[in-house]
Copies of this chain bind each other. A is one copy, B any other.
């Protein structure tokens, strides 16, 4: 796979030299007028919205290994070729997990009238094991955190464990949605594994999300081959119901979950190069991830990231602007349940990491963008005043620095020294829809998508033309 990328780079340089003699105008560089032209062009184009409709309406869900994911690879590659970009499909072996039946009901509890059972709304977590086809029936224990699970360790074996941990919606609305998500989602990863180790018959988590419409939120479990048990997310309402019923006395559930773990499948990262001029061997990545969960159509997560990255090149192409460095649009495969796309690219580009000047990924939905965040070094921050000035007229002039962004597909590159960038996005409602059936096209506001493209395009262009040293990311070692 390393070979594939080396081949790409050779092609890129060839294409660059051919295009140098083409109809493209001389690069205007980071002149404020040029930055303003890019911003304004993006703010009046619906090219990204059209691509979003193509991806979500014509294809829909794009879980790794699915027909939808394969169709999305073809669709994005075709669209980028139409823009004249040099497209490479980088092979990626991906996990292939397929959802099956998923139903559950509470069949015993104190006060249950004869003949009555209560349905529980849930959805299997990625990587979940399966129950028998006819389901299993087991007593339920409800815990609020890891401590309570450990205190009740003797009860776990053969039982269904529910982690009833609420997503902190108020924290999300105060602008700390990512932190709120992190607090809840640990049970989906670590919690499922722990319950499996302790011999649970199945493990349930309360959905890590902020709305109250009885929607289960899926996502990757922490389960691996050899230690898979049935694992599902229940809706917030059902978690609360189970907690109330468990407080009345013993509670039993019938659970049917029949997902399948199939052999790894062949898929691809879609890599589309828009070649640079005098620094064509230097690369600025702009990206989103192409795979999505299977319940919704992945409009927020992350068709928005992919189409805004694609639209960066459309915007420059329409203006006839050529960057000094090569702009590499990547639609990553398998961010959601394996991270194989990012890992494969990193592996193939280890030797070439120094030529990766910066990498952008958008993967936090389609809310209003109000700037960028980055892991460039403190010294480099002063060089970004012209970028901020260009984004200020659209109220997107914020630039926040952190030692590491840790974006899913970029964290390996970042650890290898490549400074990361990501749009600063209002996420206050993102986790209402995240990983649910309701992550659909209509959730994306056209004006916000245009703004998103503008911020991504101006930033990408700026990075691809910077004279000043941007330096390397310096990710602190993990504690």
Interface residues of A (CB under 8 A from B): 53-54, 57-61, 67-68, 70-71, 74-75, 109, 111-116, 118-119, 121, 211-215, 236-237, 240-241, 244-245, 296-297, 432-433, 436-438, 440-443
Contact = CB atoms under 8 A, between A and B. Distances in A.
Nearest to A242: B57
Nearest to A72: B113
A121 B67 contact: no
Given A60-B118, A111-B58, A213-B211, A442 B240 contact: yes
B441 A113 contact: no
Contacts of A74: 113
Residue from the set A114, A237, A244, A442 with the largest chain B CB neighbour count within 10 Å: A237
Nearest to A214: B438
Given A212-B442, A215-B215, A241-B440, 19 more contacts: A57-B241, A58-B112, A58-B116, A59-B116, A67-B115, A68-B116, A71-B113, A71-B114, A71-B115, A74-B113, A75-B113, A211-B213, A213-B433, A214-B296, A214-B436, A214-B438, A236-B442, A237-B442, A240-B441
Nearest to A113: B71
Nearest to A112: B58
Given A118-B60, A237-B438, A111 B215 contact: no
Contacts of A114: 67, 71
10 contacts: A57-B118, A57-B241, A58-B116, A60-B119, A71-B113, A121-B437, A213-B215, A214-B296, A237-B440, A237-B441
Instruction: Give the most central of A68, A213, A215, A245: most B CB within 10 Å.
Output: A213
Contacts of A296: 214
A434 to B, nearest CB: 12
A40 B111 CA distance: 31
